[in-house]
Amino acid sequence: MASKITAPDYVSFDRVANLYEATRMVPADTLDRVAQIIREDARLDSSDPFLDAGVGTGRFSRHLYRNGIGVIGADISRAMLEQARSIQEGFPLIQANLYRLPFASHSLRGVLMVHILHLLEGWRTALDEVRRVLQDEAPLYLGYETGRRNPIQDIYFELATQRGIRHRHIGADSKEEVFDYLRSLDGSVTRIDGAALQWEIEIETRRLLSLLDRNPFSQCWNATESDHAKLMKELEKLMEEKGLATPIQRICGDFSLWRVSFQCTTKSGSR
Ligand X SMILES: C[S@@+](CC[C@H](N)C(=O)[O-])C[C@H]1O[C@@H](n2cnc3c(N)ncnc32)[C@H](O)[C@@H]1O
182 counts as binding ligand X under rule CB under 6 A: no
Please choose, from the candidates 69, 75, 73, the residue with its C-alpha nearest in 3D space to the C-alpha of residue 120: 75
Pick from 34, 48, 49, 54 the residue near ligand X by CB under 6 A: 54
Closest separation between CB of residue 242 and ligand X, Å?
29
Is 80 a binder of ligand X (CB under 6 A)? yes
Q: Identify whether the C-beta of residue 70 lies closer than 8 Å to the C-beta of residue 45.
A: yes
Closer of 53 and 159 to ligand X (Cβ): 53
Shortest distance (Å) from residue 245 CB to ligand X: 29
Whole-number minimum distance, CB 158 to ligand X, in Å?
21
Q: Do 134 and 110 form a contact (C-beta atoms < 8 A)?
A: yes
Nearer to ligand X, 100 or 230 (CB): 100
Binding residues for ligand X, total number by CB under 6 A: 20
Report in angstroms how near the CB of residue 234 gets to ligand X at its nearest.
Answer: 26
What is the contact mask toward ligand X in residues 112 to 141, using x (rule: CB under 6 A)? Answer: --xxx--xx---------------------
Applying CB under 6 A, does 25 fall inside the site for ligand X?
no
| Interaction of residue 64 with ligand X, rule CB under 6 A | no
| Residue 59 touching ligand X (CB under 6 A) | yes
Residue nearest to ligand X (CB): 56
User: What is the 3-state secondary structure of 54-121?
Assistant: CCCCCCCHHHHHHCCCEEEEEECCHHHHHHHHHHCCCCCEEECCCCCCCCCCCCECEEEEECCHHHCC
Nearer to ligand X, 4 or 242 (CB): 4
- Least Å distance between CB 58 and ligand X? 8
Closest CA to 216 of 145, 157, 146, 151: 157
Quick one: which segment of 96-104, 160-168, 203-211, 226-234 binds ligand X (CB under 6 A)?
Answer: 96-104
Binders in 226-265 for ligand X, by CB under 6 A? none
Q: Which is nearer to ligand X, 33 or 239 (CB)?
A: 33
Residue numbers at the binding site for ligand X (CB under 6 A): 10-11, 13, 24, 54-56, 59, 75-77, 80, 97-99, 114-116, 119-120
